[in-house]
Amino acid sequence: MTNQFSEEIRSHIRVIKKIKVINPVVKNIAVNLAEIDIIKYITISEDYIKASSEITTERNKIPVTKIDHPTAVGVSLLLELDFKVIQFYEMNSPVKGYGSKMVDAVIRALPDDWSAVVVMDWSGGFWEKMREKYEKIDIL
């Protein structure tokens, strides 16, 4: 429910109707992502968070997170709440610096007993740099 957020943050976030209570870690991730100046659209579902500077033109208006998109800055996170894991599924940042800002926003929200996972790394070194900076990141 979006009433769990401040007025300013709420304007960026859409919560899928099935969700009655947002997990506090998910809420913190969403708030941190909403504080990044270029991120304008965030969708929270039971099993993912998507945040982006752009949305699709279809009826559902999904945040654009597609890798190699020419203009959209965005991230798609898979939520494995039972295992206390956030998986970086897709991330795109044609604007230098926003990739690390999105990673920082996620990692800062994670309690000590949570971790972040990158299952497929096609970044050419980005995730290795993030792993050096944040010990919570596991690259599989």
Distances in Å between the alpha carbon of 139 and those of 65, 94, 109, 127?
20, 22, 19, 8
- Global pTM reads 0.90
Q: Which residues pair with 42 in a beta bridge?
A: 13, 51
Return the domain boundaries, the chain. 2-139
Which pLDDT does position 1 carry in this prediction?
46
Cα distance between residue 33 and residue 71, in whole Å: 18
Q: Which residues pair with 85 in a beta bridge?
A: 80, 115
Query: Comparing 137 with 6, which gets the higher pLDDT?
Result: 137
Q: Across the chain, where does the E strand assignment appear?
A: 13-15, 41-44, 48-52, 74-80, 85-92, 115-118, 137-139
% of the chain surpassing 90 pLDDT: 76
Instruction: For 56-76, write each residue's pLDDT tens digit.
Output: 988 888 999 998 899 999 999
Which pLDDT does position 62 carry in this prediction?
93
Residue 121 C-beta-side C-alpha neighbours within 13 Å:
14
Cα distance between residue 63 and residue 19, in whole Å: 18
